[in-house]
Amino acid sequence: MGFVNYFPGRGHLMERAYLEGQAEGKAEGQAAGEAALILRLLEKRGVLVSEGVRERVTSCIDLDTLTLWFDRALTVTVAEDLFVEEVEGAEGSVDANP
């Protein structure tokens, strides 16, 4: 008896693994593209990028984080400022006259 392959369209394990692999590859590709844009933007703006910053940006796979870093790359003057965490409620939190 010959090998019967129900792939694609049957929801079998082989199909699910294939589709999951495709989705992961697509997400990794998007992340790599975003990282490249961040580094290119910094370069075009004349912001020096250390090897540590380059490694952190290119190794990130979270698209939301990369989008945040891209937005910051539009205005930072030092590449390390991409990673500075914003402190909520920092404005006006210190009262000079208690």
- Could you report the per-residue pLDDT of 38-60, keeping only the tens digit for each? 999 999 999 999 999 999 999 99
Establish if 96 belongs to a structural domain.
no
Tokens 């990369």, located at residue: 66
Residue 93 has pLDDT above 50, yes or no: no
Q: Does residue 56 or residue 22 have the better pLDDT?
A: 56
Establish if 53 belongs to a structural domain.
yes
Q: What is the structure's pLDDT at 2? A: 55
Q: List the domain range (segments joined by +) for residue 78.
A: 33-83
Establish if 90 belongs to a structural domain.
no
Side chain identity at residue 27, one-letter code: A
CB crowding 39-78: b at 16 or more within 10 Å, else e = beebeeeebebeeebeebbeebeeeeebeebbebbeebee
Token pair of 82, please? 């991409």
Q: How far is Cα 24 from Cα 4, in angstroms, rounded to an integer?
A: 27
Residue 92 has pLDDT above 60, yes or no: no
